A and B are shown apart, each in its own frame.
Chain A
Amino acid sequence: MSLFLTYVVSGIATGCTFALVATGFVVIYRVSRVVNFAQGVFAVIAGMVASSLLTRNLPHGPAEVLAVAVAALAGLAVGAIAIGRPGTPPLASLIITLGLGIGSYAVIILIWGDQPVSYSGLPGLARLEGISIQLQFLLVVAVTAITFALLSLFFDHTYPGKALTACSSNPYAARLVGIDVRRMGLVAFALGGALGGLAGVLITPLQPVSFDSDVGIAINGFAAAIFGGLLRPGTALVGALVLGVAEALVAGYYRASFESGVALVIMLGLMVWRASRGAIAEEPE
């Protein structure tokens, strides 16, 4: 039983990082209708930046905040290139973000090399119900909870947040009331970058990241995001927790190498099931 609880707790923690990546996908997709293939890259960049800053003796806290800011800038840059030219169809934008993701490998290897990096997170263990939990897990869960609370305040109670929601529900009407839809798209990309970066600084102490870790991170985030049809952050959070726990259980009880297979199979099954119900059949091209 305690083994089971350990798996569940670590699953919830990984699920929280998936949720942050998934929300990044959702925020960007809602406003710009672009699925950002470079979403995993933000996490990798933030992890790398944080680790560099920490080795230069910057304390924990400022290092992570700076790293998230860099990721937000990276998000802004990706957005500017992907939706900068008006009239770029979403599928072209998808391929552009894919290109930016691959191109970023070059930059990452150039700066940080091709070896995985990591740094120590919050040290220590907490004891709960007879099992010991890494404090870093609790930190991940707490940060995710706070982020989701802030996001919900932002989207429901501030003008920029409401403008973003307006752009996602009807871009044309949003333009009529004077919202710059393209600028809002860029804001969404920056926010998506920051969320990806946040996931990155939280993941890196748990599992080292290297330049090509982004594919795995993006796949898990995307799988979680489609629980909510790429539109609802709340459902994406639920999906991410389910995914994280399922992966931890499979890795714990069955075989670690099947861990990533869980996300893939759940994702495929979910997409096909939704498509067969016509939920995502119509895709504006």
Chain B
Amino acid sequence: MRALRGRPPTFWMGVVVALVSLVVPVALNDSQLTVYVFIGLSVIVVAGLSLLMGFAGQISLGQAAFYAIGAYTAALLTRALGVPPLVSLAAATAFTAGVAVVVGLPLLRLRGHYLAFATLAFQLIVLSVIGEARGLTGGDTGMPGIPTLSIGPLAIQGQYRAFVYAYVTWVLVVGVLLFNRNLVRSRPGRGLRALATSEAGALAAGVPVARYKLQVFALSAAYAGLAGGVYAFFVSYIAPGSFPVLLSIQFLIMATVGGLGSVWGSAVGAVVVYLLVQVLQSVGTGPGLPPQLPAILSYAVYGLVLVLVMTFLPQGLVPALQARVAARRQVSALEAQARGQLD
């Protein structure tokens, strides 16, 4: 019990959010559960992207490429080679990280807008390779009939399929977020924070800048690969069209909204942006409304959110709220002190 005393309010908020999200799936129907799973997978990807952008200061416009690589690796291993799904999932995660290391070695020499365009180019190349390798991936028509996740004879299927996937996603999200939280507080995490403030300063203080950048890049890719693998097993059909450039931008928006480098912010950003777009899509698809309306609404929201957040809240929602709470506390502490002096 003593270990719990004196925990900051954010800790308790995290516990409450975790418990609520654990209970929520019980009340959801199948299509809502699907949204729940997709949000969870987005949180996993965004958690990596947020680390990469917030700590390593590297922008990636190609995160959906790693999502695609994870999805195709997992699907191919299980569908074509009959590898057990869990093994495929682990292999997909590791392979995606490996690709990131190979790609990152040259690309991470670039910065800022050069890296942005380079990662965008990387994604376009990945998509066109997947589209061209018809024998392996089914090309642009996609790959149907991907088996579901299973452990031995226990496969996730039937009436409770989406329900079980919701919990699989929950466990992965909690694992990823806790890993991030511990990473940020560890020695490499402190090095990364130094790197985010000033690369030259970090280098001078003995932080192995290049290696840390590559490792964070690989970690963010591994998260995306893991989420992609689960996505493939969950939806059982993938095509290059499932991983458009817009998906990368959507991940970027989620990371920016939540706050770059904020561990809990990545979860908040993903949930807020995903639900916002879902709500607008359902508003836009009524009878008598033009068929392009949902697309118009989501593009408008993406654009508006990016511009407004970058202009007025460049540090993101969660860090801004945290700063406000901290400032108010400081004020009330000062007030208390002043009152004490008056008495």
Contacts and interface: CB of A to CB of B under 8 A. Distances in A.
A112 to B, nearest CB: 10
B109 A219 contact: no
B307 A106 contact: no
B303 interface: yes
B300 A106 contact: yes
Interface in A74-125: 81, 85, 88-92, 94-96, 98-106, 109-110, 113-114
Given A95-B306, A103-B303, A109 B296 contact: yes
Contacts of A283: 111-112, 114
Contacts of A177: none
Nearest to A282: B111
A214 B120 CA distance: 13
B-side interface mostly:
helix
A280 B114 contact: yes
B124 A264 contact: yes
A261 interface: yes
Contacts of B110: 271-272, 275, 280
Interface string B96-134: 000000000011011111101110111011001001100
A271 B112 contact: no
B239 interface: no
B114 A271 contact: yes
Interface in B285-316: 292, 295-297, 299-300, 302-307, 310-311, 314
B249 interface: yes
Contacts of A102: 246, 249, 299, 302-303, 306
B33 interface: no
Interface in A247-275: 257-258, 260-261, 264-265, 267-268, 271-272, 275
A275 B114 contact: yes
Given A91-B59, A95-B256, A280-B110, A85 B311 contact: yes
B252 to A, nearest CB: 7
A235 to B, nearest CB: 16
Contacts of B117: 35, 219, 222, 267, 271
A285 B201 CA distance: 14
Contacts of B297: 106
Contact of A109 (B249, B292, B302, B307): B292
Contacts of A265: 125
Interface in B224-253: 245-246, 249, 252-253
Interface in B302-340: 302-307, 310-311, 314
Contact of A96 (B106, B131, B296, B310): B310
Nearest to B120: A219
A271 B125 contact: no
A276 interface: yes
Contacts of A106: 295-297, 299-300, 303
A219 B307 contact: no
Contacts of A94: 59, 112-113, 116
Q: How large is the interface on A (under 10, 10 to 19, 20 to 34, 35 or more residues)?
A: 35 or more
Contact of A267 (B111, B121, B131, B300): B121
B214 to A, nearest CB: 14
Given A96-B311, A102-B249, A261 B125 contact: yes
B124 A219 contact: yes
Contact of A257 (B121, B132, B292): B132
Contacts of B128: 257-258, 260-261
Contacts of A260: 124, 128
A99 B304 CA distance: 7
Nearest to A269: B106
A94 B115 CA distance: 12
A135 interface: no
Contacts of A110: 292, 296
A126 B44 CA distance: 58
Contact of A103 (B107, B114, B307): B307
B124 to A, nearest CB: 6
A92 B121 contact: no
Contact of B109 (A98, A104, A257, A272): A272
Nearest to A255: B132
Contacts of A109: 292, 295-296, 299
B77 to A, nearest CB: 27
A250 to B, nearest CB: 13
A104 B303 contact: yes
Nearest to A216: B124
Nearest to A284: B112
Contacts of B107: 268, 272
A90 B109 CA distance: 18
Contacts of A215: 120, 245
A276 B109 CA distance: 7
Contacts of B61: 98
8 contacts: A99-B307, A101-B303, A102-B303, A103-B306, A103-B307, A114-B292, A258-B128, A272-B118
Given A90-B112, A94-B112, 9 more contacts: A81-B311, A88-B311, A92-B311, A106-B297, A106-B299, A268-B118, A272-B107, A280-B111, A283-B111
Interface of B: 57, 59, 61, 106-107, 109-114, 116-118, 120-122, 124-125, 128, 131-132, 245-246, 249, 252-253, 256, 292, 295-297, 299-300, 302-307, 310-311, 314
Interface of A: 35, 37, 81, 85, 88-92, 94-96, 98-106, 109-110, 113-114, 215, 219, 222, 226, 257-258, 260-261, 264-265, 267-268, 271-272, 275-276, 280-281, 283, 285
Closest 9 pairs (CB-CB, A-B): A103-B303, A99-B306, A35-B113, A106-B300, A106-B299, A105-B299, A275-B109, A99-B307, A264-B121
